[in-house]
């Protein structure tokens, strides 16, 4: 049996996240306190006692999910022995850190820089995303290509579920067309901008140097990266894919399919929520899925 560990992305945050880890583990307490020092503000106070609105702050959301995921993996100790890892969008940084390719400090710094760069890009280009259910990927791709606005597939989440990303007008046009073509649902998401689209180019350019300068070493096992859904262990490949990630789609369906094809029979979600377990089950009902807190 091959074990895969997967790490959630933005949207998995919840008030009180990580408090149980802090209360139960000395390792967790040390890392949470270190995180406050690295970031220069009390993110742990916001995670443990803040509101949903507090957790939606750009400088908080991504580091909070990263911290919950990575610290949970550290607390698991010998229980964290993956044959392969992957992370959804932001979760790719958590996966790399948990698998030893990035240090805790370097991973957190990169995630913080990523969050702030994405916020700036969102302010430069007001934009949004929409979830499309019940339409073939090829149909969604064709509709996006035919619209004379920025609108692209952004997240291939699971079979029959894809998220598109682009300008407000581009998203409106795509929703209308996809509804005509029989989409079961086509709804705008409450997000700050067009993530994983060409409109994130300013963030990609800003983050590229930080990624190039970060000390990345081979992880303990292959990481299946968002950009191509393929396993990587070489730091040069990992860097290149991380840089491309901000303006490229998250190929999560393909990632899950490739991990299963390569022998994964058990997927454990490490971090807040259980969204990835649900997405993987829709790819293959026979696969065992777990939460790290229950495994």
Catalytic position from the list 94, 127, 196, 197: 196
Local structure of 234: helix, strand or coil? coil
In this structure, what token pair is assigned to residue 277?
């377990």
In this structure, what token pair is assigned to residue 219?
């992880």
Residue 69 contacts residue 89 (beta carbons within 8 Å): no
Local structure of 62: helix, strand or coil? helix
d(CA 77, CA 96) in angstroms, rounded, equals 16
In this structure, what token pair is assigned to residue 118?
């994405």
The yes-or-no answer on residue 196 being catalytic is: yes
Sign of the Cα torsion 117, 120, 124, 126 reads: positive
Residue 64 contacts residue 43 (beta carbons within 8 Å): yes
Residue written as token pair 């064709």: 142
Q: Where are the alpha helices (DSSP H) in 99-225?
A: 104-124, 137-146, 168-180, 201-213
Chain mean position to CA 165: 15
What count of other Cβ atoms lies within 10 Å of the Cβ of residue 112?
22
DSSP annotation of 250: B
Catalytic position from the list 25, 69, 89, 167: 89
d(CA 70, CA 254) in angstroms, rounded, equals 24
The yes-or-no answer on residue 89 being catalytic is: yes
Q: Known catalytic residues?
A: 89, 196
């Amino acid at each position: 049996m091959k074990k895969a560990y997967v790490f959630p992305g933005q949207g998995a945050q919840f008030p009180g996240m990580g408090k149980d880890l802090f209360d139960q583990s000395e390792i967790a307490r040390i890392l949470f306190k270190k995180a406050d020092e690295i970031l220069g503000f009390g993110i742990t106070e916001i995670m443990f006692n803040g509101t949903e609105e507090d957790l939606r702050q750009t400088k908080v959301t991504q580091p909070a999910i990263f911290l919950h995921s990575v610290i949970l993996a550290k607390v698991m100790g010998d229980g964290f022995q993956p044959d392969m890892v992957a992370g959804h969008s932001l979760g790719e940084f958590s996966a790399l850190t948990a698998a030893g390719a990035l240090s805790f400090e370097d991973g957190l710094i990169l995630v913080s820089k990523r969050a702030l760069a994405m916020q700036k890009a969102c302010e430069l280009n007001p934009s949004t995303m929409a979830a499309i259910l019940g339409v073939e990927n090829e149909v969604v791709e064709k509709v996006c290509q035919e619209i004379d606005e920025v609108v692209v597939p952004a997240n291939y989440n699971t079979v029959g579920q894809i998220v598109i990303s682009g300008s407000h007008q581009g998203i409106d046009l795509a929703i209308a067309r996809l509804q005509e073509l029989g989409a079961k649902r086509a709804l705008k998401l409450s997000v700050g901008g067009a993530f994983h689209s060409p409109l994130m180019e300013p963030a990609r350019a800003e983050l590229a140097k930080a990624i190039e300068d970060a000390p990345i070493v081979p992880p303990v096992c292959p990481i299946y990266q968002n950009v191509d859904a393929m396993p990587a262990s070489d730091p040069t490949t990992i860097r290149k894919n991380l840089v491309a990630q901000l303006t490229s789609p998250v190929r999560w369906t393909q990632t899950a399919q490739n991990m299963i094809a390569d022998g994964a029979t058990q997927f454990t979600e490490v971090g807040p929520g259980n969204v990835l377990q649900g997405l993987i089950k829709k790819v293959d009902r026979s696969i065992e899925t777990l939460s790290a807190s229950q495994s």
